[in-house]
Amino acid sequence: MPYPHLIVARLYEQIGPMDRGERYEDRLQSALEVADAGEVTGGGSLITDAGEIAYAELELALSDLNGAVQRTVEVLERAGAPQGSEIINGREVLREFGRQQCVAVYLDGVSLPDAVYASLDIDDVIARLGESAGPDSFRGHWQGPEETGLYFFAPDAEEAFARMEPVLAELPIGQNARVVIRHGKGSLQPRTHRMPRR
């Protein structure tokens, strides 16, 4: 049956199409189908000039703007939606939702000694930072022209970074890294920390 309310769920997360489908779209589609509350009709991402994903969107057709919206929010929050995410109807933000905060670690890809890059084991870096940030915290990466972004999520980004900082300080590739705590929507008041060189 056609559902009358066309809305968008905007997720302030740097998540690619495949991961977006697995983490959010498939789970939400199943939950909406069971309740006959709507369906996922599409999705996309806004890309910055540098090529980094700014946010992802799910296009939805819902049966109503009360129970179906509430079900959508509950499913997306259980899946890990970041704080500042929005349910949008036309130009109106119906509500904000999300419980996770992002710590984005941008590794310096151009100015460190060659030996740092030659000996780099990126999987080990991700594993060590992820272990300190918390279980299942690592959500993905972005390869830019001068930086590599690693995205970690936790309920409290400040607490997560407090655990990550000494680990990052020990790693040779951690030198001069740009770390954005509460990375995402501007209303979360993100702050940037620059790791020292050694």
Tell whether the model's pLDDT for residue 12 goes beyond 70: yes
* Contacts of residue 178, Cβ cutoff 8 Å, sequence gap at least 6: 105, 106, 108, 147, 192, 193, 194, 195
Euclidean distance between CA atoms 14 and 100, whole angstroms: 13
**Do 90 and 12 fall within a single domain?**
yes
Q: How many domains does the chain have?
A: 2
- Looking at residue 120, its pLDDT comes to 97
Q: What percent of the chain has pLDDT over 90?
A: 98
How many other CB atoms sit within 10 Å of the CB of residue 120? 17
In order, the DSSP letters of the chain are: ---SEEEEEEE-S---HHHHIIIIIHHHHHHHHHHT-EEEEEEEEEE-TTS-EEEEEEEEEES-SSHHHHHHHHHHHHTTPBTTEEEEETTEEEEEE--BEEEEEEEESSSS-HHHHHT--HHHHHHHHHHHH-TT-EEEEEE-SSEEEEEEEES-HHHHHHHHHHHHHHSGGGTT-EEEEEES-GGG--EEEEPPP-
Return the closest-CA partner of residue 180 out of 5, 12, 7. Answer: 12
Among the candidates 97, 127, 146, a domain finishes at 97
CA distance 119 to 112: 12
pLDDT at 50: 92
109-126: average pLDDT: 97
Range of the domain at 119: 101-194
Do 11 and 48 lie in a common domain? yes
Question: How many other β-carbons are positioned within 10 Å of the β-carbon of residue 158?
Answer: 12
Q: What is the CATH number of the domain that holds 150?
A: 3.30.70
The DSSP secondary-structure symbol of 37 reads -
Half-sphere exposure for 165 (CA within 13 Å, toward CB): 14
Q: What is the pLDDT of residue 6?
A: 96
Average pLDDT rounded to a whole number, residues 166-195: 97
Q: Are residues 38 and 77 in the same domain?
A: yes
Last residue of a domain, which of 97, 127, 154?
Answer: 97
| pLDDT score of 1 | 64
pLDDT at 32 over 80: yes
Would you say 189 and 158 are in contact if contact means Cβ atoms under 8 Å apart? Answer: no
The pTM of this model reads 0.94
77 with 160, same domain: the answer is: no
Confidence at 2, pLDDT banded by 50, 70, 90: confident
pLDDT tens track for 123-157 = 999 999 999 999 999 999 999 999 999 999 999 99
Q: What is the pLDDT of residues 52-85, one digit of tens each?
A: 999 999 999 999 999 999 999 999 999 999 999 9
pLDDT for the residue 70: 97
